[in-house]
Structure 1
Amino acid sequence: MPLSKITSAQLPGLFEAQFTRCAVAPGETIVLLTDHNTPREMVNAAFAAALALGAESFEVGLSRALDLQRVGHDKPGAGEGLMNALQSADLLCTFFPPNLSPWLAACRKGGTRVLSITDKPDQLHRLLAPEGTKEAVLHAAERYANARVIHVTSDAGTDFTYRRGDPAWSELRAYYGYSDEPGHFDQWGMAMVADFPDEGTAEGIVVVKPGDLWILPYVRAVESEIRIEVREGFIRKIEGGLDAKAFNDWLARNATSPQDLDPYAVSHLGFGLHPNAYWDDILTYGNSVADLTMAARAYAGNFLFSTGPGPHRRTKGHIDMPMSDCSVSLDGELFLDKGVIKDPKAVIRRN
Structure 2
Amino acid sequence: MAKTIPQLTELFKRELEMCDVTPDETVLVVSQAESREPYIEAFKNAAEVIGSTVSHLELPGLKHPMFPYGGSPDSMPLSDVDEHIQNDPAARGALENSDFVVDLTAEGLIHTKARTLTLENGARMISCWEPASILEQMFPREDLRERVETAEQMVIDADEMRVTSKAGTDVTVEVGQDPPTVPQYGYTDEPGRWDHFVSGFIAFYPVDGSQNGKIVLDAGDVILPLRRYVDNPIEFTLEDGFITDIDGDGADCALIESYLEMWDDEDAYAASHFGWGMDETASWENIAAYATTGVDARGTNNRSQIGNFMWSTGPNRFVGRDTRAHLDFPMRNCTVSLDGEVVVEDGDVVDSRLTPNR
Structure 1 length as normaliser, TM-score?
0.91
Distance, in Å, in 2 between the alignment partners of 1:37 and 1:206 is: 36
2:242 equivalent to 1:234: yes
Q: Deviation of residue 98 (structure 1)?
A: 2.9
Contact 1:215–1:321, Cα closer than 8 Å, also in 2: yes
2:150 equivalent to 1:144: no
- Aligned partner letter, 1:306: S
Residue 273 of structure 1 corresponds to: 278
Q: Which runs of 5+ in 2 are unaligned?
A: 69-75
Q: Deviation of residue 219 (structure 1)?
A: 1.6
Q: Deviation of residue 295 (structure 1)?
A: 1.4
Residue 72 of structure 2 corresponds to: none
Select the residue among 220, 225, 249 that pairs with 2:258: 249
2:87 equivalent to 1:78: no
Select the residue among 292, 299, 321 that pairs with 1:293: 299
- 100-109 vs 12-21, which deviates more? 100-109
- 231-240 vs 36-45, which deviates more? 36-45
Distance, in Å, in 1 between the alignment partners of 2:112 and 2:213 is: 29
Distance, in Å, in 2 between the alignment partners of 1:304 and 1:248 is: 19
Q: Deviation of residue 14 (structure 1)?
A: 0.2
Contact 2:34–2:63, Cα closer than 8 Å, also in 1: no
Within 5 Å, give how 1:87-166 maps onto structure 2. 87-96=96-105, 97-166=108-177
Structure 2 length as normaliser, TM-score?
0.89
User: Structure 1 pair 229/301, CA: closer, same or farther in 2 (3 Å)?
Assistant: same
Distance, in Å, in 2 between the alignment partners of 1:323 and 1:103 is: 31
Contact 2:131–2:296, Cα closer than 8 Å, also in 1: no
Q: Deviation of residue 105 (structure 1)?
A: 2.8
Residue 61 of structure 1 corresponds to: 58
Distance, in Å, in 2 between the alignment partners of 1:75 and 1:41 is: 23
Q: Deviation of residue 78 (structure 1)?
A: 2.6
Q: Deviation of residue 77 (structure 1)?
A: 4.2
Residue 207 of structure 1 corresponds to: 216
- Overall identity of the aligned pairs, in %: 29
- Aligned partner letter, 2:118: C
- 27-36 vs 261-270, which deviates more? 27-36
2:34 equivalent to 1:37: yes
- Aligned partner letter, 2:96: Q
Q: Deviation of residue 65 (structure 1)?
A: 1.4
Distance, in Å, in 2 between the alignment partners of 1:335 and 1:101 is: 34
2:330 equivalent to 1:322: yes
Q: Deviation of residue 142 (structure 1)?
A: 0.2
- 245-254 vs 341-350, which deviates more? 341-350
Question: Cα RMSD over matched residues?
Answer: 2.1
Number of residue pairs aligned between Structure 1 and Structure 2 = 340
Distance, in Å, in 1 between the alignment partners of 2:290 and 2:297 is: 8
Residue 73 of structure 2 corresponds to: none
Contact 2:185–2:195, Cα closer than 8 Å, also in 1: yes
Q: Which runs of 5+ in 1 are unaligned?
A: none
Give a deviation string over 1:190-248, Cα, whole Å, max 9, x none.
Answer: 111111111211001100111111122x1222222211011110000001121111111
Q: Deviation of residue 293 (structure 1)?
A: 3.4
Larger helix share, 1 or 2: 2
Select the residue among 274, 282, 285 that pairs with 2:287: 282
- Aligned partner letter, 1:281: N
- Aligned partner letter, 1:164: V
Tell me the SS of whatever aligns to 1:10: helix
Residue 198 of structure 1 corresponds to: 207
Give a deviation string over 1:146-190, Cα, whole Å, max 9, x none.
Answer: 1111100011110111102255xx311111110111011101111
- 287-296 vs 28-37, which deviates more? 287-296
